[in-house]
């Protein structure tokens, strides 16, 4: 099992490398590789669903660039597109596809706690980490609580099918407001629980992290070098 | 609308990271001070941040289009926990959201700027301005509306600056127009949603809707004030020069004549500005200059 710190570092380096690539060949190849990996990990459905959001924006940029950017117009009958715009738009599209694929595969293969733990290693401020840990813990709690509130309101005719915008919004806002006031009240209980477990203000996260083992370190160096080779290929070969 | 990885050019990724980092560090400074005075603030801000995150991914009904979409949520958070704390919370939320396909790792800076800084501060400013002259639900609703619309306009500007640096104004309009069919109805929905939520909270637990971190210390106030002043002066100078027919000649001539009369034409400053581009260069100079001036100004005042 690879150390999550190496996974995050390599993913970040690879995404940055993709961002500076000048040709679409490598990003598209990386995207295809990610699709194969997602299929192998049996997460293709989840992967495809999450990929929808970035691809919509990438498509919007592709269309905008294609129709407006450049000087060499290509007549398609009813409309004209620009070859430079199509080329640039497709490059952006391929970069988004590859970057989002890498990020999604990272999160599929790494737990939330591992990610937060790694952030400590990368020097993220302690207060931010403490807030992040609380948020990660309570997002799930409030999400399920919100679902219960919605269900309860639905059973009390809060969301009838024929309800107008105003009624629907009023119902949803009541649930949201209730959830916020609950969070406010619960934070007092959480604070009391923290105190009862010996929490003190100066008792924060330890800054010591276990060192990377030799195997992970070598893997990290090899993969980082591979990323630089890919960049070299993009710049020099094509 | 979150910008994904792979869209922005590296220099813009870095630029938005630096700007956001300044605001995040100011937010952390304020949060740490509050925690020192009231340790219960840590779980409070975190839990409310978690709830606002959950609410912001719920789909709300959108008028006119008949569909549904999720609200920005930062104006709502700013009203409850204050604008600076919201910047920190939104940066964390954007980090989590990046892992579910909304946004990205390299674009956290740009997304924090549009949602967490512009959306938050504009919404909060509108709320504070209208609070005393209009009903609470209306001022909160307007905060949601303005915060939401400015978030999308800033996202459009970020795209135009990075993707089409040669024709920024034209592409800013184009991207903004592209967003309008989906985002304008969503801004109206955000108006209703924020207004209703704040009305509900003020009726059931009014102490929640209280300004949390508006009491800035002298350094933050001076630094922020001077940052805005210097950036505005540079922008006005540049714009006047632009109107005069030159390419940002207003600040160029002033700097050449007054600030650096003996500057070498191919010196590091000129080369750096040519490399990173004038909009980023002048913006960075204004912001960094404001912060440094603010710091020394505070120190000098304290000594005197």
Contact B197/A173, CB-based, under 8 Å? yes
What is the pLDDT at residue A209?
66
Interface test with A, best of B15, B50, B64 (most A CBs within 10 A): B50
Query: For residue A114, what pLDDT is reported?
Result: 82
Q: Are residues A87 and A136 in the same domain?
A: no
Q: In what helix (H) or strand (E) does residue A81 lie, and over which residues does it extend?
A: strand A80-82
Facing residue for A190 by CB, picked from B43, B163, B196: B43
Residues of B in contact with A58 (CB under 8 A): 4, 6-7
Distance from CA of B265 to the nearest CA of A (A): 30
**A104 lies in the same domain as A215:** yes
The pLDDT confidence band at residue B87, using thresholds 50, 70 and 90, is very high
Residue A183, domain member (yes or no): yes
pLDDT of A234 reads: 86
Same domain, A94 and A14: yes
Mean pLDDT in residue range A28-34: 93
Return the structure tokens found at B9. Answer: 């050019």
- Residues A92-107 have a mean pLDDT of 91
For residue B210, with 0-12 CB atoms within 10 Å meaning exposed, 13-18 middle and 19 or more buried, which class applies? exposed
A192 and A214 inside one domain: no
pLDDT tens for residues B104-135? Answer: 889 999 999 999 999 999 999 899 888 888 89
Overall average pLDDT of the A63-69 stretch: 88
Q: What is the mean pLDDT of residues A210-231?
A: 88
Does the CB of B220 have a partner CB in chain A at under 8 Å? no
- pLDDT tens across B243-284, in order? 565 555 556 666 666 666 776 777 777 777 777 676 677 777
Per-residue pLDDT at B216 = 60
Q: What percent of chain A has pLDDT over 70?
A: 93
Instruction: Note whether A23 and A106 are same-domain residues.
Output: yes
Q: What range defines the domain where residue A144 resides?
A: 125-196
The reply to whether residue B40 touches residue A187, judged by beta carbons under 8 angstroms, is yes
Residue B234 has pLDDT above 80, yes or no: no
Residues A131 and A106 in one domain: no
Cα A150 to Cα A158: distance, rounded to the nearest angstrom: 8
Residue A120 lies in a domain: no
Three-state SS sequence of B19-72? HHHHHHHHHHHHHHHHHHHCCCHHHHHHHHHHHHHHHHCCCEECCCCCCEECCC
Rounded average pLDDT over A73-101: 89
- Structural domains counted in chain A: 2
pLDDT of residue B71: 80
The C-alpha atoms of residue A143 and residue B34 are separated, in whole angstroms, by 27
Q: What is the pLDDT of residue B220?
A: 67
Who has greater pLDDT, B257 or A27? A27
Please indicate, yes or no, whether residues A190 and A219 belong to a single structural domain of this protein. no
Where is pLDDT greater, at A238 or B156? B156
Q: Which one has a higher pLDDT value, A202 or A195? A: A195
Asked if residue A20 and residue A93 are part of one domain, the reply reads yes
**Which distant-in-sequence residues (6+ apart) come within 8 Å of A110 by Cβ?**
A4, A7, A8
Q: Do A169 and B197 touch (CB under 8 A)?
A: no
Average pLDDT for chain A: 85
- Span B176-232, pLDDT tens digits: 888 887 788 888 888 998 999 999 999 888 877 765 545 566 666 676 777 777 777
Pick the more confident residue, A114 or A20.
A20
CA distance to partner chain A, nearest, from residue B201 (Å): 6
> What residue segments make up the domains of chain B, in order of their start?
10-208, 218-303
Across the interface, of A60, A88, A141, the residue whose CB is closest to B178 is A60
pLDDT digits (tens, 9 = 90+) for B20-76: 998 999 899 889 988 888 888 899 899 988 888 888 777 766 655 555 567 888 899
Task: State the CB neighbour count (10 A cutoff) for residue A224.
Answer: 16
Residue B233, pLDDT > 80, answer no
User: Which residue in B7, B51, B164 is closest to A142 by CB distance?
Assistant: B51
ipTM of the complex: 0.86
- If you measure CA to CA, which chain A residue comes closest to B36? A201
CA distance A26 to A168: 47
What residues of chain A lie within 8 A of the CB of B50, using their CB? Answer: 134-135, 137-139, 141-142, 183
- Indicate the CATH number for domain B10-208: 1.10.1760.20
| Closest CA–CA distance from residue A14 to any residue of chain B (Å) | 11
Residue A73 lies in a domain: yes
What's the Cα-to-Cα distance from A127 to each of A67, A184, B33, B87, B95, rounded to whole Å?
A: 47, 19, 11, 14, 15
**Residue tagged 């099918």 (tokens):** A161
Q: Is the pLDDT of residue A43 over 70?
A: yes
Give the best residue of B43, B59, B175 to mutate against chain A (max A CB count within 10 A). Answer: B43
Do A150 and A105 share a domain, yes or no? no
Beta-carbon separation of B28 and A130 below 8 A: no
Statement to judge: residues A152 and A214 lie in one domain? no
Residues A216 and A181 both lie in one domain: no
Asked if residue A75 and residue A15 are part of one domain, the reply reads: yes
């Amino acid at each position: 099992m690879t150390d999550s710190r190496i996974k995050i570092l390599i993913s970040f380096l690879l995404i940055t490398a993709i961002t500076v690539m000048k040709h679409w060949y490598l990003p598209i190849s990386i995207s295809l590789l990610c699709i194969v990996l997602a299929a192998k990990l049996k997460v293709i459905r989840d992967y495809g669903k999450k990929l929808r959001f970035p691809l919509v924006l990438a498509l919007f940029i592709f269309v905008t660039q294609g129709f407006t950017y450049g000087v060499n117009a290509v007549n398609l009958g009813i409309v004209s597109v620009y070859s430079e715009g199509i080329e640039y738009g497709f490059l952006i599209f391929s970069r988004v596809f590859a970057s989002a694929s890498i990020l999604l595969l990272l999160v599929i293969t790494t737990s939330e706690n591992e990610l937060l733990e790694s952030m400590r290693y990368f020097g993220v401020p302690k207060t931010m980490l403490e807030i992040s840990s609380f948020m990660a813990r309570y997002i799930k709690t409030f999400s399920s609580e919100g679902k219960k509130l919605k269900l309860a309101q639905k059973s009390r005719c809060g969301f009838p099918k024929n309800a107008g915008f105003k009624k629907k919004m009023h119902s949803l806002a009541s649930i949201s407001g209730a959830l916020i006031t609950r969070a406010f009240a619960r934070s007092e209980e959480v604070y009391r629980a923290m105190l009862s477990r010996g929490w003190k203000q100066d008792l924060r996260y330890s800054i010591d992290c276990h060192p990377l083992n030799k195997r992970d370190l070598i893997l990290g160096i090899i993969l980082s070098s591979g990323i630089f080779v890919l960049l070299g290929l993009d710049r020099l070969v094509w | 609308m979150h910008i994904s990885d792979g869209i922005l050019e590296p220099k813009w990724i870095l630029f938005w990271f630096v700007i956001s980092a300044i605001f995040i560090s100011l937010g952390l400074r304020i949060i740490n001070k509050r925690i020192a005075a009231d340790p219960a603030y840590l779980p409070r801000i975190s839990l409310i941040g978690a709830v606002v995150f959950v609410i912001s991914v719920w789909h709300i009904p959108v008028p006119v289009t008949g569909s549904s979409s999720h609200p920005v949520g930062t104006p709502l958070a700013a009203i409850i926990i204050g604008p600076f704390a919201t910047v920190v919370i939104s940066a964390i939320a954007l980090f989590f959201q990046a892992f579910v396909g909304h946004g990205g790792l390299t674009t956290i800076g740009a997304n924090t700027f549009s949602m967490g800084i512009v959306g938050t501060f504009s919404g909060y400013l509108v709320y504070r301005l209208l609070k005393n002259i209009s009903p609470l639900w209306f001022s909160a609703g307007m905060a949601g509306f303005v915060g939401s619309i400015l978030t999308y306009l800033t996202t459009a500007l970020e795209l135009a600056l990075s993707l089409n640096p040669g024709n920024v104004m034209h592409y800013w309009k184009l991207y903004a127009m592209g967003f309008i069919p989906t985002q304008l109805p969503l801004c109206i929905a955000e108006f209703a949603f924020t207004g209703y939520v704040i009305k509900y909270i003020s009726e059931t637990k009014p102490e929640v809707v209280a300004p949390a971190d508006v009491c800035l210390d002298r350094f933050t106030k001076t630094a922020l004030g001077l940052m805005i002043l210097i950036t505005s002066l540079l922008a006005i100078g540049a714009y006047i020069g632009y109107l005069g027919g030159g390419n940002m000649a207003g600040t160029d001539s002033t700097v050449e004549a007054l600030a650096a009369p003996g500057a070498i034409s191919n010196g590091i400053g000129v080369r750096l500005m040519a490399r990173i581009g004038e909009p980023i260069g002048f913006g960075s100079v204004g912001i960094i200059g404001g912060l440094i001036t603010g710091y020394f100004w505070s120190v000098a005042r304290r000594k005197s």
